[in-house]
């Protein structure tokens, strides 16, 4: 593990910029830790909740490493971890990885999807050609986390909130809401089975979900 103020361990002894980046953020779980902090600071256990399979010791190590290279700040008194500007600037890297993943086989959407993962995914899979200058505000409530997603100028801005105040709010897990966004089952059917709860303007919610498709955008 690296300590704050010390140079990171050199894994790739090359002058390549990609190798330099991987020396800093290329360890297993590192970018997924960044993903979980992309929209808001979190405590240790909340980060871990979004990363099934990671052990407490590995997560502690990754957070220490990311802090050492200036990607994460740790407010020790409050026990909260937050991304620095350098950490937040990794969002396009995560989005590019999502786009690349759409080009290769093997993706299994039935596996665990965290709320942050779904929010990032929706930014990648918005069909901008369908937005047509449309303005919209959507709410998503995952129980432990909630977001407001604003569509404006063909782009999405996602914000963590305590309680969404939007024309409609969709509630569920990362996986059930991913099914609502990308799946073939109509929202009304998902709501009738209890997989997703929809509050507010149902027609607006249905129209908003039609703006997303899990696949390469042309």
* CATH 1.10.10.10 for the 17-89 domain, yes or no: yes
The structural domains of the chain, with segments of one domain joined by +, span 17-89, 106-209
Domains 17-89 and 106-209 share a fold: no
pLDDT tens, residue by residue, 125-164: 999 999 988 999 999 999 999 999 999 999 999 999 999 9
Angle between helices 30-37 and 91-101 (to 10 degrees): 110
Cβ proximity of 53 and 46 under 8 Å: no
**Whole-structure pTM value:** 0.92
d(CA 65, CA 83) in angstroms, rounded, equals: 13
Instruction: Tell me the fold of 106-209.
Output: Nonspecific Lipid-transfer Protein; Chain A (3.30.1050)
Residue 1 — very low, low, confident or very high, per pLDDT cuts 50/70/90? very low
Strand-pairing partners, residue 97, are none
pLDDT tens, residue by residue, 9-18: 788 999 999 9
């Amino acid at each position: 593990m690296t300590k704050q103020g010390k140079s990171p361990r050199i894994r790739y002894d090359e002058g390549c910029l990609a190798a330099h980046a991987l020396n800093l953020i290329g360890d297993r779980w590192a970018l997924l830790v960044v993903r979980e902090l992309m929209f808001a600071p979190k405590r240790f256990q909340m980060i871990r909740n979004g990363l099934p399979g990671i052990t407490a010791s590995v997560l502690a190590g990754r957070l220490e490493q990311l802090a050492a290279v200036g990607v994460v700040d740790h407010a020790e008194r409050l026990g909260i971890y937050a991304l620095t500007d350098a950490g937040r600037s990794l969002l396009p890297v995560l989005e590019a990885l999502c786009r690349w993943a759409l080009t290769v086989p093997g993706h299994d959407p039935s596996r665990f999807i965290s709320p942050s993962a779904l929010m990032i995914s929706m930014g990648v899979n918005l069909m901008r050609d369908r937005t047509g200058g449309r303005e919209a505000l959507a709410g998503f409530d995952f129980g432990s986390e909630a977001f407001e997603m604003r569509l404006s100028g063909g782009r999405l801005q996602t914000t963590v909130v305590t309680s969404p105040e939007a024309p409609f709010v969709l509630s569920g897990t990362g996986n059930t809401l991913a099914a609502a966004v990308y799946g073939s089952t109509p929202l009304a059917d998902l709501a009738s089975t209890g997989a997703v709860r929809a509050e507010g303007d149902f027609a607006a919610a249905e129209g908003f979900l039609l703006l997303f498709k899990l696949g390469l955008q042309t």
